[in-house]
Amino acid sequence: MLNRSEKTKVGIMTCLLTATLLSAETSKPAKPVLKPIDPASIDLTQPTLFLAPYSHLDDIWRWNYPQVIRDFLKSTLDDNFAAFEKYPDHVFNWSGASRYSMIKEYYPEKYEELKAWIAAGRWFPCGSSWVENDTNIPGSESIIRQILLGRTYFINEFGVSSDEYMLPDCFGFPYSLPSIPVSGAGLVRMVNQSSQHSMAAIMPGFMKRCIQRMQKLWSGCKRTKSAPAFRLTFII
């Protein structure tokens, strides 16, 4: 059985994984869990959980490119542009340089507005890679090219870059992965959520172990180190 603290943590995680910020109806499950938390009781010496709005989108999964371009890209832009206007504190992270390139091609006017929001610090191109690629089958050169293409696009188009390798929906990683982004691309963090979110509800103490893992460094095979950051994501 989970104790009260573990139930609260699992409840918060469940809310993070299911709540839609733009819909009051779907955010209702979060209120009973978050209401009892007194900000004054927070121990600032303990690890801090930052809530970073993010929308995961596979270029190809149970849909095709025309649907991605027609529906998903447009709705991601429109929903967040509206949120920027309505909520002054709303910020947004989005990965995958490939999707930005499709926006530039198919929605040039929205792309210009997107660039303005990026310049204002409200929308941040994260993740560093062209797509959230598999890392088990491809070799090191392929992974480096993913990061090279992604970072080059973000720098050339927006004048910004990030220092994390974002793989939110990958299931498994080679032991050598920290050596690749650290020694070859200047990245210092790896972000993932698929490897642990489904375990929180069935394993007591799992959230505590996740936090402990975030405080450690993942050593690569060349004695380089990359701090894994297990990010909990919203779907906005």
pLDDT for residue 86: 95
DSSP 193: -
Residue 129 is predicted with a pLDDT of: 93
Cα 228 from Cα 60, distance rounded (Å)? 26
Nearest to 126 by CA among 233, 198, 214, 226: 233
Q: Which residues belong to the active site?
A: 169
Question: What pLDDT was estimated at residue 40?
Answer: 64
User: In the prediction, which pLDDT does 37 show?
Assistant: 57
The DSSP bridge pattern shows strands 189-192 and 225-230 to be parallel
Residue-by-residue DSSP string for 70-119:
IIIHHHHHHHHHHHHHH-TT--EEEE-HHHHHHHHHH-HHHHHHHHHHHH
Q: What is the pLDDT of residue 204?
A: 56
Burial 112-137 (b: 16+ CB within 10 A, else e): eebbebbeeebbbbbbbbbbbbebee
Domains, the chain, ranges and CATH? 4-10+52-230 (3.20.110.10)
Quick one: pLDDT at residue 67? 94
Which parts of the chain register pLDDT below 70? 1-50, 182-184, 194-236
Q: What is the pLDDT of residue 23?
A: 47
Pairing state of beta strands 164-166 and 189-192?
A: parallel
